[in-house]
Amino acid sequence: MVEQTSEYGWHGQPFWAPFFHDKERLMKIICFLKKKDGLSSEQFMNYYESNHAPLATKLLPFFSSYERKYVIKDKEYKPGHLNEELPPVPVFDVITEISFGNRADYEGMLAALKDPVIGKQIADDEENFLDRKAMVMYFVDERTTPVDVLMSARAQPSPV
């Protein structure tokens, strides 16, 4: 039996192998995006939701899911497990998750972005509300704990 290591998963396969080689596997990109200087958080969110998200879904109809998670920079948040210390202020304002049903959809989006008309429209619109130089994007391999496991854990007495 092959042991799991930091570079290789079970069965001796690199962790990334199924993600990049399985053409039918769901693909997800996580984007950490920063608002353009001079915009309030409300202006940023309103522009993204009212202008950019509709434009992106119209010009890039390849997503199986397109979600935005806006950071709430609330100083009242106190993470008890961290001795009530506030986390540092994040360098991004929204986490955008873009999922593709398969690799063909992802490649379709890439091809559309290379089209000079579509790519320019997306980039020009991003200039209206994003600090494009601060964009950070990653492919992720998402894992979800099933609801029945979570509910079962809730039914157990607390270890503390």
Tens of pLDDT, residues 41-76: 999 999 999 999 999 999 999 999 999 999 987 666
The pLDDT value given to residue 120: 97
Tokens of 65: 């899911």
The pLDDT value given to residue 18: 45
Q: Under a CB-based contact definition with an 8 Å cutoff, are residues 93 and 71 in contact?
A: yes
Low-confidence winner among 56-60, 66-70, 141-145, 155-159 (lowest mean pLDDT): 155-159
The pLDDT value given to residue 16: 43
Question: Can you tell me the distance from the alpha carbon of 100 to that of 67, in angstroms, rounded to the nearest whole number?
Answer: 12
Q: Which of 146, 130, 139, 128 is nearest to 106 (CA)?
A: 139
Q: Which of 2, 20, 1, 58 is nearest to 141 (CA)?
A: 20
User: Which residues have a Cβ under 8 Å from the Cβ of 94 and sit 6 or more positions away?
Assistant: 32, 33, 35, 44, 45, 48, 68, 69, 70, 71
The pLDDT value given to residue 158: 74
The pLDDT value given to residue 155: 80
Q: What is the mean pLDDT of residues 101-108?
A: 92
Q: Which fold would CATH assign to domain 23-73+88-153?
A: Alpha-Beta Plaits (3.30.70)
The pLDDT value given to residue 55: 98
Q: Under a CB-based contact definition with an 8 Å cutoff, are residues 60 and 113 in contact?
A: yes
Helices assigned H by DSSP within 34-155: 41-47, 53-59, 103-114, 116-127, 147-155
